[in-house]
């Protein structure tokens, strides 16, 4: 008698601007996936708990200044140091929800003026999400939600450029078909339904396909 391997987990990335409600939706999504029988792990990027994450945190809180290229590579290194555990979980049947991923990595650095292809290069080979939920919120709505924190990048001009870069990146044919755009400008429960609609596509995709790598 041979034991049947469990179906693999699903890799789901949640992306969007600051104040789009990513963390709230990630929490609701984890709950809903669990209720429908999935084993789930939430992985936040940047993961500030590692040694590299500590450096990233001190940069974001402006405790230290780090050269643009260097911090870019540290954000990427932070994903690479966790890539193995993501692959291991997916193979073992655990669904992994990513609160931000390499798409934030590319757009935030490219929005500063670094070359897009340079920014994307270090991400090639990382586990590729089965689906990316992009939580979209226009600048006006974002401004109404008020209260930027005090971290680096939490300024309107940076957010505006980041939103443009995200729009450009959603047209990148190397990730074609992965994106589902959700209007994040509604009430929490309504947005959660929309997120679930996109996630179901990822669940469907993962049923018939191996986990891919970023190309």
List residues binding ligand TMP (CB under 6 A).
18, 45-46, 60, 75, 100, 104-105, 108, 153
Distance CA 185, CA 118 (A): 33
Position closest to ligand TMP via CB: 105
Residue 164 CB neighbour total at 10 angstroms: 13
Q: State in angstroms the smallest separation of the CB of 99 from ligand TMP.
A: 7
Question: Smaller CB distance to ligand TMP: residue 18 or 172?
Answer: 18
Distance CA 144, CA 208 (A): 42
Q: State in angstroms the smallest separation of the CB of 103 from ligand TMP.
A: 9
The closest alpha carbon to 56, from 76, 42, 41, 26, belongs to 76
Question: Smaller CB distance to ligand TMP: residue 118 or 200?
Answer: 118
Question: Smaller CB distance to ligand TMP: residue 108 or 179?
Answer: 108
Exposure string of 77-107, with b = 16+ CB inside 10 Å and e = fewer, is: bbbeebeeebbebbeeebbbbbbbbbbbbbb
Question: Smaller CB distance to ligand TMP: residue 60 or 198?
Answer: 60
Q: State in angstroms the smallest separation of the CB of 75 from ligand TMP.
A: 3
Q: State in angstroms the smallest separation of the CB of 100 from ligand TMP.
A: 4
């Amino acid at each position: 008698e041979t034991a049947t391997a469990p179906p693999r987990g699903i890799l789901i990335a949640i992306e969007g601007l600051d104040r789009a409600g990513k963390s709230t939706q990630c929490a609701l999504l984890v709950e809903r996936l669990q209720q429908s029988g999935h084993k789930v792990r939430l992985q936040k990027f940047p993961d500030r708990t590692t040694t590299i994450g500590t450096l990233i945190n001190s940069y974001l809180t402006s405790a230290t200044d780090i050269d643009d290229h260097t911090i870019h590579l540290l954000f990427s290194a932070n994903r690479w140091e966790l890539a193995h555990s993501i692959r291991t979980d997916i193979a073992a049947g655990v669904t992994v929800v990513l609160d931000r991923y390499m798409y934030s990595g590319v757009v935030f650095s490219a929005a500063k003026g670094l070359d897009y292809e340079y920014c994307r290069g270090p991400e090639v080979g990382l586990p590729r999400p089965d689906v990316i939920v992009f939580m979209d919120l226009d600048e006006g709505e974002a401004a109404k939600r008020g209260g930027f924190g005090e971290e680096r990048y939490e300024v309107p001009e940076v957010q505006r450029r980041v939103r443009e870069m995200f729009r450009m990146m959603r047209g990148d044919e190397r990730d074609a078909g992965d994106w589902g755009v959700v209007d994040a400008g509604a009430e929490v429960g309504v947005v959660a339904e929309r997120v679930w609609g996109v996630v179901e596509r990822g669940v469907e995709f993962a049923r018939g396909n191996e986990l891919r790598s970023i190309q």
